[in-house]
Amino acid sequence: MHLKGNDFLKLLDYTPEQIDYLLRLAAKLKAEKKAGIPHRLCEGKNVALIFEKTSTRTRSSFEVAAHDLGMGSTYLDSTGSQIGKKESIADTARVLSGMFDGIEYRGYGQSIVEELAQYASVPVWNGLTDEFHPTQILADFLTIREHFGSLENIHLVYMGDARFNMGNSLMVGCAKMGMHFTACAPEGYFPDAQLVAECQAIAAQTGAVLDFISDPAAAMQGANVIYTDIWVSMGEPESVWAERIAALAPYQVNAALMAKADPNAIFMHCLPAYHDKKTVIGSEMCTRFGREAMEVTDDVFESAQSVVFQEAENRMHTIKAVMAATLAEIEL
């Protein structure tokens, strides 16, 4: 399949066949890495990694993947890049295109990464925006495939605030791949109606089922994958904490809720997670609101059903597949 030269901005831009190809390529590259087989498919190339929002998994994934593929990588954080401040997005894209073979962007509005791609002459990859997180979904789907053998007949329930990048991207991914997606959230916390309509149109073609309900017990019936994310997103002010936590408390993933899912269900989380008080922010939120955990309890997070660290590792393998497929000619 020919993806060389393509951007990777959102899954809406990709066909189910292309997504499947990236997952198969990621599985192949993962198996080769585990076996110690080199795959320096992009020898001599260089990539720029723009991070307006910091990350452990995304940065590590791009840097290790680039190294494994034979590439150099240059990390540009908010203090090391003039993007949108002293230099326009369009100018930044053209400057970096002259020095690098690919550009990753992790930051704020989707419009920023779209504009980068518009003006860049090299592939641009979305490492996360407020609206979409496509590389995370590839890692999630690879993990689900590894656990269940297929994405067919999988019912994925996203529990919590479904208005932002994870709720949006899981909905898009499930629609594309013909899966059953349920967003379980309070009223006012569901994805944007226009995006829902677009995904329903995709679902009509792929056979996917998309549900939007507010009853956690009902949502969990027959669920194969229970997914959640932090209740307070990166960069949001403390002023939203009280309202958000009060609204989402009934949607915490705990042992009682997991017991309502399929017995073989798995728990997933894109991380970081506030499952205990061992982080500064987690401790502060738990103390202030009288809680032991936020979106997921520690017993679920650490349980045999939890695949969060397998999922985190798969960020690197799937990001490697995206870079390799868009920078080199690779046939499976």
Give residue 2's pLDDT: 92
Side-chain half-sphere CA neighbours of 199 within 13 A = 30
Contact indicator for 155, 185 with CB cutoff of 8 Å? no
Taking residue 285's Cβ as centre, other Cβ atoms within 10 Å add up to 22
Tell me what pLDDT residue 84 has: 72
Q: Which residues contact 80 (CB under 8 A, 6 or more apart)?
A: none
Mean per-residue pLDDT for 71-82?
Answer: 88
Task: Round to whole Å and give the CA distance between 73 and 45.
Answer: 9
* pLDDT at 25 (0 to 100): 98
| CA-based nearest residue to 159, from 236, 217, 239 | 217
Q: Is 70 left (phi over 0), alpha (psi -120 to 50) or beta?
A: left
Residue 81 has pLDDT above 80, yes or no: no
User: What number is the average pLDDT over the span 112-140?
Assistant: 98
Banded model confidence at residue 21, pLDDT cuts 50, 70, 90: very high
3-class DSSP assignment, residue 209: strand
**DSSP-derived 3-state class of residue 34:** helix
293/286 Cα distance (integer angstroms): 6
Three-state secondary-structure class, residue 117? helix
Between CA 141 and CA 322 the distance in angstroms is 14
Q: Which strands make up the sheet holding 225-228, listed edge to edge?
A: 209-213, 180-184, 155-159, 225-228, 266-269
Residue type, 158: Y
Q: Which residues are catalytic?
A: 106, 133, 136, 229, 270, 315
Name the more confident of 67 and 238.
67
Q: Cα-Cα-Cα-Cα dihedral of 56, 61, 63, 64, to 10°?
A: 120
Tell me if 231 sits within 8 A of 160, measured CB to CB: yes
CA–CA distances in Å: residue 232 to residues 85, 162, 195, 294: 27, 12, 22, 10
pLDDT at 71: 98
* 250-284 per-position pLDDT tens digit: 999 999 999 999 999 999 999 999 999 999 988 98
Instruction: Compute the mean pLDDT over every residue in the chain, rounded to the nearest whole number.
Output: 96
Q: Is the pLDDT of residue 78 over 60?
A: yes
Instruction: Tell me what the mean pLDDT of segment 42-64 comes to.
Output: 96
Does 69 or 288 have the greater pLDDT score?
A: 69
Beta bridge partners of 306: 267
Q: Is the pLDDT of residue 234 over 60?
A: no
For the chain, which domains are there? 11-133+315-327 (3.40.50.1370), 155-223+225-260+266-304 (3.40.50.1370)
Q: What is the pLDDT of residues 211-230, one digit of tens each?
A: 999 999 999 999 999 999 99
Confidence of residue 235 (pLDDT cuts 50, 70, 90): low
Task: Indicate if the pLDDT at residue 297 is higher than 60.
Answer: yes
**What is the arithmetic mean of pLDDT over 157-163?**
98
- Residue 28, judged by CB atoms within 10 A of its CB (0-12, 13-18, 19+), counts as middle
State the number of CA atoms in the 13 A half-sphere of 82 facing the CB. Answer: 8
